[in-house]
Amino acid sequence: MSPAVRRLLVLLTASYGRRRIVLMLGLGLAASLAEGAGLLMLVPVLDLVGVGGNAKPPGGALLTGLGLYLLLVAAAAWVVAVRSSLSNDQRNRFVDRMRGNMHDALLHVSWPVFQSLRATSIKQIIIGEVGRLGLCHDALVSLGVAALTMPMLLLTALLLSPVLTLVTLLLSGLALLLIRRIGRSGFDIGLRLGRAHQDMMADLTDDLAGLRIIKGFGAEAVRSGNLSRRFAALRQLQSRHSRIQAYEHAALVLTAAVMAALAVMVSVFWLEQVLSEALVVILAFARLAQRTLASLRFWRMLEAGLPALVIYEEMLQRLRTGAEGSADGQADGPGGNLPIFTRSLSFRDVGLRTPDGRQALDGVELDLPFGVLLAVTGPSGAGKSTLADVAAGLARPTRGSLYVDGVELVPALLPSWRRQIAVVSQDPFLFHDTIRANLLLAAPDADESALWTALEAAAAADFVRALPQGLDTVVGDRGGAVSGGERQRLAIARALLRRPRLLILDEATSALDAGSEAMVLQTLERLHRQTTILAVTHRDRTRRAADMVLELDGGKIQRFAQQDGA
């Protein structure tokens, strides 16, 4: 048994639980016993109808025999139906559990690790590869059922004709050893299919996200050619896999036919069996051949799907290793709840070097008192957004530390810290859902009055009231059904609804007109002494409204001063 099969069995065992496993095995055994008994019942029935030499069958005995046979067949069919229903339900539970584990790991991965991943690869694994693992579940269950059923068919044949059974098994074994070589590369092709699906999905997702850029540069032909090559590579692998399966199936069908013909010849000309027994033996071998064909098909399905487990485990391990609180996530220090931010947020010799080696922040020393509005300015690439990410706990300093009211903000405290903050970026994200649902993401327990208060504060209430469905208007994919300024105001309202202790605005007013910006700034002024605001900005109005101004250049502080009148 391969390591991948063993790992899949462990996962399935954990998913099923002991009681369900016993139930599934019991149903499989019951079905196989009923099928074997049904076959054995055919011998006296065939004798009664004259196949074994009787001139005239007794009516009562024949009806009794046929009735028992039908009863056994019906019992086997019912057990198989129950088992199939349970198996389908368990397969769905297994798939949901695998997807849930991956999604949970994704949500808890550290931000720098997430930025190093390709989101489309994760999406393809959750949807495509876990779907293939569902097929592996079905294949493994079917193989388990076959492992219970085939011995009963063999036992039936052995009871009726031991010599014929042993001879046929020997010939069948030799034939299967030869046929097995046809499909040896199934695992390798399955692994390459998984990678090809990831590449194709990544290109397709990029085309959807960057369609405006593609059209703007007239690059339709270039992108179409890229995706066509992905399709061609995927098609070639799929065709090769289909050919292997088709040739293997044809060889098995031919082998089964040859075995059946040989069984008839041996039974009639060599063993001189009673015809009724010979017919039942041949029927048992026909069913056995059918089970063998199905089992090999399920094995190939399992073999082709197992690479999905390799791909899944690689990504899951990468996410869990990079989780906040893990070694690669660079967690250290004790966990727990961070005290409520009331005094100051301090940067002590904070430096951050990007993966490409650039020094984004260098020796930042800063004390940000609670309840002030800080405007962070500087040229493009000065480190403003990086400073905001560090304050939000999204970026981990490579040197120095942050302190909240004197408590070092170690990664283990980040979840507690993020419950006290809200972030609005220059290009805010809205989910394809209603305005209400997007707002409640920040404060699930907020009532209608709180929603409208936040919308008023963000200068968004008037346009929301004008919408036909109001708060229940769906904003479209990434908020595309509303304008850029409206999307920005909704994002600001969502942040204000949270009532954060620290509000981070990363160029959050850049998409607003002068009137909307003035209304938002009035709201920020009213928030004085209630929250601390860190506003990354190029806008003079925001800078003039600030209590303090921090100028960055090359990741270093050039000026940090309190403004007159603050």
What's the pLDDT tens digit per position in 22-59?
Answer: 776 677 667 666 665 655 555 565 555 555 554 455 55
pTM of the model: 0.68
- Per-residue pLDDT at 566: 52
Instruction: Give me Rg for the CA atoms of the chain.
Output: 35
Tokens describing residue 233: 């590579």
Which spans in 266-337 are helix H? 275-321
Mean pLDDT of the chain: 77
- For 30, other C-beta atoms within 10 Å of its C-beta total 18
Say what the alpha-carbon torsion angle 84, 22, 309, 295 is, to the nearest 10 degrees: -50
Backbone angles phi, psi at 363, to 5 degrees: 65, 45
C-alpha neighbours within 13 Å on the C-beta side of residue 324: 24
Segment holding 346, helix H or strand E: strand 344-353
Q: Are 547 and 374 in contact (CB under 8 A)?
A: yes
Task: Report H helices in 180-274.
Answer: 186-209, 211-216, 220-265
Question: How many CB atoms lie under 10 A from the CB of residue 356?
Answer: 5
Q: Which one is predicted more confidently, 121 or 366?
A: 366
The confidence score (pLDDT) of residue 172 equals 61
Confidence of residue 185 (pLDDT cuts 50, 70, 90): low
Q: What is the pLDDT of residue 285?
A: 66
- The string of pLDDT tens digits covering residues 385-423 is 889 989 988 888 889 999 999 999 888 888 888 889 888
pLDDT at 534: 92
3-class secondary structure, 348: strand
Average pLDDT over residues 229-234: 81
> Among 121, 209, 152, which Cα is nearest to 30's?
152
Domains and CATH numbers, the chain: 3-321 (1.20.1560.10), 344-562 (3.40.50.300)
Question: What span, in angstroms and rounded, lies between the C-alpha atoms of 16 and 9?
Answer: 10
Band the pLDDT of 460: cuts 50, 70, 90. Answer: confident
Place of tokens 């209603």: 434
Lowest mean pLDDT among 152-156, 306-310, 467-471: 152-156
Give phi and psi for 534, each to the nearest 5: -110, 110
* pLDDT at residue 92 greater than cutoff 90: no
pLDDT of residue 274: 63
Q: What is the pLDDT of residue 403?
A: 93
- Triad 448, 424, 337: Cα angle to 5°: 80
CA 338 to CA 336: how far, in whole Å?
Answer: 7
